[in-house]
């Protein structure tokens, strides 16, 4: 019997939120963020359950899986305004879509090279969605294709170091002279002005009325999606309907959605609670058995992606800077893409990189599920 009983809702909730705090703290710490807060949340959660401190199954976990996970999806998609994305990305969006195709091809190559059995098609879809649409698509595809909690923990933990390798590759590519000679760039680095006193943007204020509105909107979208799924006998893909409705709201009411300031932070908070729950429900033996093959799977996908992106940039005369930032929006998401653009002095590519990453969140789920269905 575990130290904390399965019906001890308060103790389990306290631990889930403590792990959520640890994850956010790690992501903001200069050293620990070099890995990933998500990784530490899952590993500590696994440690608690496999040392018999918390149970592997509990009603509290059931609530997280049934209500918290779906509620996080709309919150992360409310800014996916297609008209704004197209207006602010220009040809960068086409390069991003090309990068998405190379991720899909990498997943197919990985599936053909590595025999993971029935898990192969599911992981191919999850990784495809994750490296096009980030965490929101990673979780949504995993839910849609029925990935177990143990397999999910192994998949996301194995993908974390692969993403770090991908980020290091993206930072290295522009510094390699032979690549710069083969694929030139017209974006000259812009040096920071000495004595620049611009203050960093202040964090959004905590407004209870906005939090209440966001949660009400998100859960309403989920409730309507579940009703539609039941009527259509499509319950296995309820999360896909949630994604569709969230995108519909984002594009029908863009001005109202732009007024929100804490939607993304609140969505990530719910996601980290989910990651903590995944850790607590994961058997360490199953995790160890699957983690290494899935790491290799991820390396194959990103290797194919980078190779094809550089080849396409050479053959199609794509600017190196645009190719790198579009690839970053694919592999590591909007914020790191903006950081790479800023660090290289490619300030004109910061906004397009962010908007491409946001667009990826809107299409990643559908592409990931499609890849799983195609390979199955």
User: Helices 284-315 and 92-113: crossing angle, nearest 10°?
Assistant: 130
C-alpha separations of 244 from 41, 172, 234 in Å: 29, 37, 14
Q: Tell me whether residue 291 is exposed, middle or buried, using C-beta atoms within 10 angstroms of its C-beta: 0 to 12, 13 to 18, 19 or more.
A: middle
Which residues, 6 or more positions from 76, have their beta carbon under 8 angstroms from its beta carbon? 135, 136, 263, 264, 267, 268, 271, 361
Determine the Cα–Cα distance for residues 18 and 97; give it in Å rounded to an integer: 38
pLDDT at 189: 63
pLDDT at 198: 46
Given a cut of 70, the residues of the chain with pLDDT beneath it are 33-35, 188-204
pLDDT at 297: 95
pLDDT at 52: 94
- pTM of the predicted model as reported, rounded to 2 decimal places: 0.84
C-alpha separations of 130 from 19, 142, 231, 272, 314 in Å: 22, 10, 29, 16, 26
pLDDT over 90 percentage in the chain:
59
pLDDT at 196: 45
Smallest Cα–Cα separation from 364: which of 167, 93, 139? 139
Q: Give tens-digit pLDDT for 138-192.
A: 999 999 999 888 889 889 888 888 888 888 899 889 888 899 899 998 876 655 4
Q: Give tens-digit pLDDT for 247-298.
A: 999 999 999 999 998 998 899 899 999 989 988 988 888 778 788 899 999 9
Smallest Cα–Cα separation from 332: which of 312, 368, 356? 356
């Amino acid at each position: 019997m575990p130290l904390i009983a399965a019906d001890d809702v308060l103790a389990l909730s306290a631990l889930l939120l403590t792990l959520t705090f640890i994850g956010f703290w790690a992501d903001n710490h200069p050293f620990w963020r070099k890995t990933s807060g998500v990784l530490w949340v899952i590993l500590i959660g696994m440690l608690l359950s496999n040392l018999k401190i918390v149970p592997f199954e509990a009603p509290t976990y059931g609530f997280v899986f049934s209500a918290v996970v779906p509620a996080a999806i709309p919150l992360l998609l409310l800014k996916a305004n297609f008209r704004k994305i197209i207006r602010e990305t220009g040809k960068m969006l086409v390069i991003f879509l090309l990068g998405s195709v190379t991720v899909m091809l990498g997943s197919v190559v990985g599936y053909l090279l590595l025999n993971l059995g029935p898990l192969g098609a599911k992981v191919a879809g999850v990784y495809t969605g994750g490296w096009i649409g980030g965490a929101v698509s990673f979780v949504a595809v995993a839910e849609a294709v029925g990935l177990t909690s143990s397999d999910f923990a192994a998949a996301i933990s194995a993908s974390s170091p692969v993403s770090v390798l991908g980020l290091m590759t993206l930072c290295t590519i522009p510094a390699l002279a032979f690549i710069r000679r083969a694929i030139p760039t017209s974006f000259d680095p812009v040096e920071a002005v000495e004595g620049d006193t611009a203050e960093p943007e202040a964090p959004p204020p905590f407004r209870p009325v906005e939090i209440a509105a966001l949660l009400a909107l998100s859960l309403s979208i989920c409730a309507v999606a579940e009703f539609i799924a039941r009527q259509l006998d499509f319950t296995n893909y309820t999360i896909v309907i949630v994604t569709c409705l969230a995108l519909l709201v984002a594009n029908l009411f863009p001005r109202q959605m732009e007024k929100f300031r804490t939607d993304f932070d609140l969505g990530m908070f719910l996601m980290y609670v989910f990651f903590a729950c995944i850790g607590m429900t994961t058997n360490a033996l199953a995790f160890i058995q699957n983690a290494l093959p899935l790491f290799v799977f991820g390396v194959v996908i990103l290797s194919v992606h980078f190779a094809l992106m550089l080849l396409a940039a050479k053959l199609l005369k794509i600017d190196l800077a645009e190719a790198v930032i579009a690839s970053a929006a694919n592999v590591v998401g909007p914020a790191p893409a903006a950081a790479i653009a800023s660090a290289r002095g490619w300030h004109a590519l910061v906004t397009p990189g962010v908007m491409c990453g946001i667009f990826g969140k809107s299409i990643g789920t559908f592409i990931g599920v499609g890849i799983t269905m195609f390979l199955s």
